[in-house]
């Protein structure tokens, strides 16, 4: 059965990406998307939900996105998606840009070239973002700012851990139980155990 799917993607951060993904879903709904898949993943990473959606879509269905960069941040990724669109006889709609209709098994060469060019610009945009981030980090370091997570010292260990640590050491509690009673993650518990042994 032919269905119009919408795909919305933004960064991993709920705070930074929340408004953006809502904007995308509104535009996708306005464009007629019947089912909208939302994903929080970086643009250059493998997108689990997008891959599952493409695998699930049946011939004659449509995939609608707001921009090329929502699908892929590299030309190779975009070309792989185009191959799937062609092989499965789907239609890809990039709002305000281009529609690639392969429901009859063929693709207009001009549309394919246009989409690949858009992929190149998307890849360029990602490279520029990375360069700005590297420059910003270098600038912060040159001003003496410490980057990354702060170093944890023994005196930073919370009292709840100190209270239950002897029970762990005596074998009355395992790491999972210690993490649960302290309301901390297992990796944090391991860090604190390591600090206590120094």
| Strand duo 98-101 + 91-94: pairing | antiparallel
pLDDT digits (tens, 9 = 90+) for 131-158: 887 888 888 888 888 777 777 788 888 8
Q: What span, in angstroms and rounded, lies between the C-alpha atoms of 72 and 185?
A: 33
Digit-coded pLDDT (tens) for 7-42? 999 876 555 545 688 999 999 999 999 999 999 887
pTM of the model: 0.57
Cα separations in angstroms, 90 against 11, 34, 45, 80, 100: 27, 15, 23, 14, 8
Please answer whether residues 59 and 92 qualify as being in contact, where contact means their C-beta atoms are separated by less than 8 angstroms.
no
CA dihedral 85, 86, 92, 97 (to 10 degrees): 130
- Antiparallel, parallel or unpaired: β 91-94 and 4-10: unpaired
DSSP annotation of 140 reads H
Greater confidence (119 vs 93) lies with 93
Q: Which of 74, 82, 79 is nearest to 120 (CA)?
A: 74
pLDDT tens readout for residues 159-174: 999 899 999 899 898 9
């Amino acid at each position: 059965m032919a269905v119009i799917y919408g795909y919305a993607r933004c960064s991993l951060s709920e705070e930074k990406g929340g408004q953006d993904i809502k904007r995308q879903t509104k535009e996708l709904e306005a464009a007629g998307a019947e089912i909208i898949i939302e994903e929080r993943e970086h643009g250059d990473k493998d997108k689990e939900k997008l891959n599952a959606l493409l695998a699930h879509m049946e011939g004659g269905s449509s995939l609608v996105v707001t921009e090329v960069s929502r699908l892929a941040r590299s030309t190779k990724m975009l070309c792989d998606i185009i191959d799937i669109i062609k092989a499965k006889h789907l239609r890809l709609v990039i709002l305000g840009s281009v529609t690639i209709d392969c429901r009859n098994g063929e693709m207009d060469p001009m549309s394919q070239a246009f989409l690949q060019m858009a992929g190149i610009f998307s890849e360029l945009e990602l490279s520029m973002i990375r360069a700005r981030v590297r420059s910003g980090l270098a600038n912060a370091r040159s001003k003496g700012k410490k980057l990354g997570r702060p170093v944890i010292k023994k005196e930073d260990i919370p009292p709840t851990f100190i209270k239950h640590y002897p029970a762990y050491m005596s074998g009355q509690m395992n790491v999972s139980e210690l993490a649960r009673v302290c309301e901390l993650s297992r990796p944090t518990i391991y860090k604190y155990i390591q600090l206590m042994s120094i």
